[in-house]
Chain A
Amino acid sequence: MSIYDMTINELQQALTNKTFTSYELTKKYLERIAEIDPIIHAYITITADAALAAAKASDERRANGQLLSDLDGIPMALKDIFCTDGILTTCASKILANFVPPYNATCWQRLADAGAVLLGKCNLDEFAMGSSTENSAFFATRNPFDIERTPGGSSGGSAAAVSADLAAYTLGTDTGGSVRQPAHYCGVVGIKPTYGLISRFGIIPYASSLDQAGVFAKSVYDCATVLEVVSGHDERDSTSTPYPIGDYRGACRRDVKGMKIGMPNEFFEEGIDPRTIEIVNKAAEKFAAAGAEIIEVSLPHTKYALPAYYILACAEASSNLARYDGVRYGVRVDKPSLEEIFCATRSAGFGDEVKRRILLGTYALSSGYYDAYYNKTLQVRTLIKEDYDRVFASGIDCLLTPVTPGPAFKLGEMLDDPLTMYMTDICTVPINIAGLASLVVPFADIEGLPVGVQLIGAPFSEEKLFTAASAVEVPRRLPPDILEQAAEKGVER
């Protein structure tokens, strides 16, 4: 078995058995990044020296019997939206191209305190706005399973890094599907836990009532291992909850027998690729064979989730992104007056999609439209949430649905058609709107492209999701050789 294909658990055992050191392991990952990443472009910043130093420190702790956690010495990466003290954090935007945060995001601090080895910062759609990572101000990331396709977005770099073995695990963020959709496109496990489970402190905000950090990993168990470390209350985020961290690893070993799994009709309607539906049905059969009960349910307001999401997210973004004014941090375009500095800095610093969402959000919040758009959407949000409350109150343990209508699309395919691109989020956005927990686990493929299934649970029901996901998990499928793909498709490094 290649070391790149080893789970966190297997890596820890190998480190304990002195099969290799964290320093050697980290070096191996850095070598692979140097070889493969010029094709995949998962990373914006690679922190090789700091990674090797952290690995060395971990090896010393291990030798002294002072290991900090099960993640000690394991190489990982972060979406470039998490503030990292002293390390460039761009959010894939020109406006933050020179931003070096003076502090750490809480979830990164928790990983660092657990001995994590940071390999670098991963590419994303600018300010997490997008579904393909093509909205990065720097470059697009490629899907390891087909380098002519998108890895998804907005956390495309983090998903591709795990898929192509450029990190053992990564963190991303999910505002409307930005962990789950790329996990599904790249054939890795991805969780967006309940809003409030992971602190948002130090995560560059997009839409604060929807944003939540999540984990990408090579197995369900790895995902549980990381979630146990990054979760938990943080007094610096007033929306993080004091809800206790679950026994997610223990949950992976529990039996799915007797669980009630709902399949909402509205997620299997027109617009979803029949091959995707067939795959989700196969997953349902696997659940049934393992003793779970499959129950048809209805969430009647599902079709309104997508327009509601884009109004809410854009409205919150227009307010959140007001902070980029060229005064306190970021790139300033110098002009004679302050007003001109604001306009010139923002107009040059933001990309098209970001400007579009700021304009939409400002429009929805502007006088005369506030009630028709924003307030109406908040009411629709209530109705969507009540659909889920009803289903979970009826005794359903979790829901099983597609993640997106089809597998990964081609790079450039939807670039000029934002609305069609937004439609790929149709199955993922309701979960953020209702504040639920959701996990994507790879299950099958369509013409070689990975297809996952989405499990959705009530708030703070992550343990149930881990139990269910472990029951349908299949052995990890590796992408075809990246260098061979590049040679075949004429993609240059």
Chain B
Amino acid sequence: MGITVNDVEYVAKLAKLTISEEEMDGYIKKLSSILDYMQQLQEIDTTGVQPTTHVLPLENVFRADEVRPCLPREKVLTNAPDTEDGYFKVPKIL
């Protein structure tokens, strides 16, 4: 099953990635060979098989909704590329 330029461009858009024209051929070639290999899963009959999303039989963990100590704001912001007045800053959206 071949993956097309349109497929890659569509998926890249969803993933917020830009694939340049020069890179496109390489991605198509490698992604196609990997997807072909993955096709073998289709040969298994999985009718009626329950999906496993998680290996452990875990239950939801509840706790009281209480305020607890958290990281100080200035420490949280130390890694931000841009901040203003104690907030993360990005270009105007609207």
Contacts and interface: CB of A to CB of B under 8 A. Distances in A.
A378 B81 contact: no
A69 interface: no
Contact of A307 (B10, B41, B52, B60): B41
Interface string A237-261: 0110100000000000000000000
Contact of A341 (B37, B51, B90): B90
B41 A196 contact: no
Q: In terms of DSSP, what is the predominant structure of the interface of chain B?
A: loop
B52 A332 contact: no
A434 B35 CA distance: 22
Contacts of B30: 356, 418-419
A329 B56 CA distance: 32
Interface string A320-359: 0010011111111001111101111011001000011011
B51 A382 contact: yes
Contacts of A383: 44, 46, 49
Interface string B57-94: 01011010000000100011011111000001011010
Interface stretch (A99-107, A157-165, A396-404): A99-107
B50 interface: yes
B51 A378 contact: yes
A380 B41 contact: yes
B11 A366 contact: yes
A239 B58 CA distance: 7
Contacts of B7: 363
A362 B14 contact: yes
A307 B38 contact: yes
Contacts of A41: none
Interface in B17-37: 17-19, 27, 30-31, 33-35, 37
A464 interface: no
Contact of A196 (B50, B56, B88): B56
B6 interface: no
Given A355-B17, A419-B33, A362 B11 contact: yes
A375 interface: yes
B82 A382 contact: no
A311 B38 contact: yes
B70 to A, nearest CB: 10
B75 A326 contact: no
Contacts of B52: 378-379, 381-382, 385
Interface residues of B, number: 50
Contacts of B71: 102-103
A269 to B, nearest CB: 15
Interface string A404-444: 00000000000000110010000000000011000000000
B16 A356 contact: no
Interface in A302-318: 303-304, 307-308, 310-311, 318
A139 interface: no
A472 interface: no
B80 A329 contact: yes
B18 A328 contact: no
B49 A379 contact: yes
A373 interface: yes
Contacts of B18: 343-344, 347
B50 A332 contact: no
Contacts of A239: 54, 56, 58
Contacts of B54: 209, 239
Contacts of A342: 16
B40 A307 contact: yes
A347 B46 CA distance: 37
A195 B56 contact: yes
A332 to B, nearest CB: 4
Contacts of B38: 307, 310-311, 373
A209 B52 CA distance: 10
Nearest to A238: B61
A100 B78 contact: yes
A372 interface: yes
Interface of B: 3, 7-8, 10-12, 14-19, 27, 30-31, 33-35, 37-42, 44, 46, 49-56, 58, 60-61, 63, 71, 75-76, 78-82, 88, 90-91, 93
6 contacts: A307-B39, A311-B38, A356-B30, A362-B11, A379-B46, A418-B34
Given A238-B61, A307-B37, 10 more contacts: A100-B79, A102-B71, A238-B60, A310-B38, A327-B90, A359-B17, A359-B27, A376-B46, A379-B52, A459-B55
Interface of A: 98-100, 102-103, 195-196, 209, 235, 238-239, 241, 301, 303-304, 307-308, 310-311, 318, 322, 325-332, 335-339, 341-344, 346-347, 350, 355-356, 358-360, 362-363, 366, 372-373, 375-383, 385, 418-419, 422, 434-435, 459
The 4 closest A-B pairs by CB, nearest first: A435-B55, A378-B51, A329-B79, A332-B81
